[in-house]
């Protein structure tokens, strides 16, 4: 289950962006998707009224700018700066 540990490290590294924006990691993920001009809608799984309200508020048009998108792309290209257990 080392992949879980690696994935959590990757998420932790993404929090530098979400924290700067005042978003949680779920909000960052949704806003990242909606920041692509080719995408106008996403359909997350929602299991409560609270989640419906939260997700509808996320779609506020305040997404990532070009520099932040570039930063995430760089992180992705560098495995989110995590040396995976498989390569240790």
Q: Is the dihedral of CA 70, 74, 76, 77 positive or negative?
A: positive
Q: What is the pLDDT of residue 5?
A: 93
Q: What is the pLDDT of residue 84?
A: 81
| Boundaries of domain holding 63 | 2-87
From first to last of its 88 residues, the chain has per-residue pLDDT tens of: 899 999 999 999 999 999 999 999 999 999 999 999 999 889 899 999 999 999 999 999 999 999 999 999 999 999 999 998 665 4
Domain tally for the chain?
Answer: 1
* Termini Cα distance of the chain: 15
Dihedrals phi, psi of 63, to nearest 5 degrees: -115, -160
Q: What is the pLDDT of residue 86?
A: 61
Which stretches within the chain are classed as H helix?
A: 2-21, 25-34, 49-58, 66-77
Q: What is the pLDDT of residue 65?
A: 95
| Residue among 51, 31, 50 at smallest CA distance from 42 | 31
pTM score: 0.84
């Amino acid at each position: 289950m080392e992949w879980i540990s690696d994935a959590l490290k990757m998420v932790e590294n993404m929090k530098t962006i979400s924290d700067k924006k005042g978003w949680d990691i779920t909000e960052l993920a949704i806003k990242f998707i909606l920041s692509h001009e080719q995408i106008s809608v996403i359909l997350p799984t929602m299991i409560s009224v609270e989640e419906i309200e939260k997700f509808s508020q996320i779609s506020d048009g305040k997404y990532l700018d070009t520099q932040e998108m570039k930063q995430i792309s760089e992180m992705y290209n560098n495995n989110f700066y995590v040396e995976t257990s498989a390569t240790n």
